[in-house]
Amino acid sequence: MSDKKLPKVVVEKKYFTFAEPPNEMVLDSGARLGPITLAYETLGRLNEDKSNGVLILHACTGDSHVAGYYSEEDQRPGWWDNMIGPGKPVDTNRFFVICSNILGSCMGSTGPSSINPKTGKPYGFDFPMVTIKDMVKAQKYLIEHLGIKKIMSMLGGSVGGMQVLRWCADYPEMVRSAIPIATTTRHSAQAIAFNEVARQAIMSDPNWKGGSYYGGPGPDHGLAVARMIGHVTYLSDESMRSKFGRKLQNRTAFSYDFNGDFEVESYLRYQGAKFVARFDANSLLYITKAGDYFDLERGDGNLLVNDNLSHIRFLVISFSSDWLYPTYQSKAIVSTLKKSGSDVSFCEIDARWGHDAFLMPNEQMDKLIGGFLDRISHEC
């Protein structure tokens, strides 16, 4: 085998703006929002009949930079570069990959930190509440803009998996196959509780100022604590024990103060500080609330029990150590989809990394997703 490195896949962040007044998008809440901009990136080529589109839905604080590099000199690839690219499970030699930043985020798409055209200032807490349904509705505008009438497959983990399920519930005619990973049809009380503690950490910071902190010091401490809380839920007891145990950080004895003795304390503080440098506190408030509002079982019945879903092929994946969205929630998705007559495959992958396992290189997951997409592409 040649040791020659393959050339970097260079990608470009693009922007799509729609819902210009007076044709604003009507949100789940009844509010109207416009104009709306979505940041998005694509890899691969759309074939002539536009049947090879694969939509990637990112998790809570992710972005559109799913794979590749922004330049030949760039040293940091997209967040799922191990999964997407030439010859990889989502093979961009065969598929046209699309990933957009969700509505309400701060990574290029319209959100609380965006300029409100009515005031010329950032929206802040004047930004309307958005839901997973709204995020998917906005993505539909983008997919239609790209001229795609039916998506060959869509996949995403966590909040990305919620978007996959919402797509199937709301626009089944546009979906050929779907891969929801490490996700759920609705948040448990425990998941809502962790999100609320994170939100309170932000809103209790004196610099939050009711969401109107733009142009001055932001709620950095509260946002860092919120990220620390969230990060704990993404890991597992086994992974934390393996990585940190009770090892001390740069010392051989206790300091007998609160500066942080243990490696795990230092790690969480680092993760909090790193997050503050890249993410907006208000966006985290809005996105976590959207996750809490997500509920496909609300009302008269489960929205996935629908004959219109019977043509969609599903691959549902969970991880053994995920306690945020444990396997029983994925099994409930499988059971519900079978009631719709859908062809459903399911696998629980034995992985010790907790909820974040779907972002880690995993040979079994690679084979599952690569094989599934290969079968779907031959059926198109």
Query: Model confidence over 164-206: pLDDT tens digits?
Result: 999 999 999 999 999 999 999 999 999 999 999 999 999 999 9
* List 109, 158, 340, 377, catalytic entry: 158
What is the value of pTM for the model shown? 0.96
Query: Model confidence over 122-151: pLDDT tens digits?
Result: 999 999 999 999 999 999 999 999 999 999
Other beta carbons within 10 angstroms of residue 34's beta carbon come to 16
pLDDT of residue 380: 66
pLDDT of residue 7: 81
Query: Model confidence over 252-263: pLDDT tens digits?
Result: 899 999 988 999
Q: Which two tokens stand for residue 70?
A: 């922004």
Mean pLDDT of the residues in the chain: 95
Q: Is the pLDDT of residue 2 over 60?
A: no
On the 0-12 / 13-18 / 19+ scale of CB atoms within 10 A, 353 is buried
**Domain annotation for the chain: domains and CATH numbers:** 14-187+296-379 (3.40.50.1820), 192-288 (1.10.1740.110)
pLDDT of residue 299: 62
Q: Is the pLDDT of residue 300 over 80?
A: no
* List 134, 220, 322, 356, catalytic entry: 322
Report strand pairing: 313-319 vs 177-181: parallel
Is the separation of the CB atoms in 155 and 57 below 8 Å? Answer: yes
Tell me whether residue 355 is one of the annotated catalytic residues: yes
